[in-house]
Amino acid sequence: MFVDQIKVYARAGKGGDGSMHFHRGKFRPKGGPDGGDGGKGGDIILLVDSSTNSLRQYFFNAKLIAADGQKGGGNMCSGISADDVVYKVPSGTVVSKIVEEEDPETGELVTRYEPYADLTEVGQTFVLCKGGKGGKGNVHFKTSTHQAPREFTPGVDGEESYFHFELRSIADAGFVGFPNAGKSTMLSKLSAAKPKIANYPFTTLQPMVGVIHFGDHRRGTLADIPGLIEGAHQNIGLGHDFLRHIMRCRILLFVVDAAGTEGRDPVEDLETVRKEVSLYSKELSKRPWHILANKIDVEGAEENVERLKERFKRVRIFPVSAETGLGLDKLRDFLDKKIGQTFEVLK
């Protein structure tokens, strides 16, 4: 089960109370105040980990709780601070704080999402909720004129709130297009990813990310975004569930069935998908984009490629065949220049 957004409740630990204690020892029956401080409550920390690519674990456990700090003791002993609790999230997790407030006009409760954290780097940590500080023991309240204080302070409550976790896949370039345009096959031929490939629409039901190697210790990442249809920006079809995943792509690669094997017009398909992307996000529509005219080996494809060139004169078009590999070398060289990054080889 792939989960890319979830609502969770998080509560950090409460600080331990300070102690009100008076020393009673041999030859010191009235030794004075010696109450220690309470321990700190545990923090709730998010860690970006490469071993997970879904928020599935929070579907079964949507409560993130840290332990409370312990109460202070006598002889100025501080209470034990609670351990911090670390929860793993995949790279690309966007955290928003859920805030409910009253609408001044209608008086109704309105829910809004406050941006809280954008976790993209593996190994990155973020304190979601801070644990409360421990209270002070009565030893802190001793003065020359107040030698037997009974005052102490309670521990501070830890932070708590409801949060919205949303996963946005991270890739240098993303394949976008209608169902059955050949995006999954393209990803499998250019990278080591093994997406499900079948001859029916919506074969891909979750984003797939693959690494493309260019040689000389260079590589990039490609994402196969599930097929979009008209009305996707209104959450029709897979809609918003997967449009969010192309928000991080630096380059958009629009894959069209140039042969029109399912009776669709590739020019109209591309116009429709471009429109859906633009309606979903103006910012996204301004990203660099290119056209992959797939299935060029099928009869009738070359004529449609000429129509695409006439309609989109300023956009680079790559006639390719994901099935036979025709034109993929040229596409690979182009992607190397655009998204290729040198990585260090571990010895």
Q: Which of 177, 161, 156, 251 is nearest to 212 (CA)?
A: 251
Is residue 225 a known part of a binding site?
Answer: yes
Query: Is residue 163 annotated as involved in ligand binding?
Result: no
Q: Is 118 annotated as a binding residue?
A: no
Annotated binding residue 22: no
Tell whether residue 295 is among the known ligand binding residues: yes
Cβ-based neighbours of 83, under 8 Å, separated by 6 or more: 42, 66, 67
Contact (Cβ atoms closer than 8 angstroms) between residue 36 and residue 99 = no
Alpha-carbon dihedral sign for residues 201, 203, 208, 212: negative
Is 246 assigned a ligand-binding role in the annotation? no
The answer to whether 180 is annotated as binding is yes
Task: Check the annotation: does 84 bind a ligand.
Answer: no
178 in a labelled binding site: yes
Question: According to the annotation, is 265 in a ligand binding site?
Answer: no
179 annotated as a binding-site residue: yes
Cβ atoms of residues 327 and 296 within 8 Å: yes
Single out the residue of 285, 5, 18 nearest to residue 163, CA to CA. Answer: 5
What span, in angstroms and rounded, lies between the C-alpha atoms of 322 and 319? 10
Residue 259 among known ligand-binding residues: no
- Backbone torsions φ then ψ of 278, nearest 5 degrees: -65, -40
In the chain the first and final C-alpha atoms are separated, in Å, by 36
Reduced to 3 states (helix: H, G, I; strand: E, B; else coil), residue 161 is: strand
**Integer Cα distance of 283 and 341 in angstroms:** 24
Residue 17 counted as an annotated binding residue: no
Residue with tokens 């290729």: 340
Is 203 one of the annotated binding-site residues?
yes
Q: What is the distance between the alpha carbons of residues 181 and 186, in angstroms, rounded to a whole number?
A: 10
205 annotated as a binding-site residue: yes
User: Is 321 marked as binding a ligand?
Assistant: yes
What tokens appear for 322 in the block? 């994901």
- Of how many residues is the chain composed? 347
Annotated binding site for GTP: 177-184, 202-206, 224-227, 294-297, 321-323
Annotated binding site: 177-184, 202-206, 224-227, 294-297, 321-323
Annotated binding site for Mg(2+): 184, 204
